[in-house]
Amino acid sequence: MSGTSSTDNCPNCGYDGMETYKDYKPYDHHIFFCANCGWEAVTEDRYLSLEELNNERAKRNLPLLKELPTRKAILTSTQIEFKNKK
């Protein structure tokens, strides 16, 4: 794996043993978990629906799409670890 694990202070309760995991493949993503108070934060990726994407494109004065572009399934190691915790 290309990521690193460490501990840090929890922004919620201040516990200094909050677990962190950071990776840069296939893009920067992070997971934070505090065993003291239960706070967790995870970088999550998703694709927008055609309607959501066109709403965002309209805000940027881009032409609207009639159909979604081809999309690859991207599963990050963060998502795998998060799913394994549940």
CA distance 63 to 29: 30
Domain that holds residue 69: 4-85
Q: What is the pLDDT of residue 10?
A: 97
pLDDT of residue 77: 52
Of 7, 24, 4, 25, nearest in space to 16 by CA = 7
The domain tally of the chain equals: 1
- The CA distances from residue 21 to 1, 35, 46, 54, 63, in Å, are 11, 14, 20, 34, 38
Report the distance separating Cα 13 and Cα 6, nearest Å: 18
| pLDDT in 10s for each residue of the chain, 86 residues | 578 999 999 999 999 999 999 988 877 889 999 999 999 999 887 889 999 999 999 999 999 999 999 887 766 554 555 455 54
* Rounded distance between C-alpha atoms, residue 39 and residue 80, angstroms: 18
Instruction: Report pLDDT for 78.
Output: 47
Asked if 41 contacts 30 with a C-beta cutoff of 8 angstroms, the reply is: yes
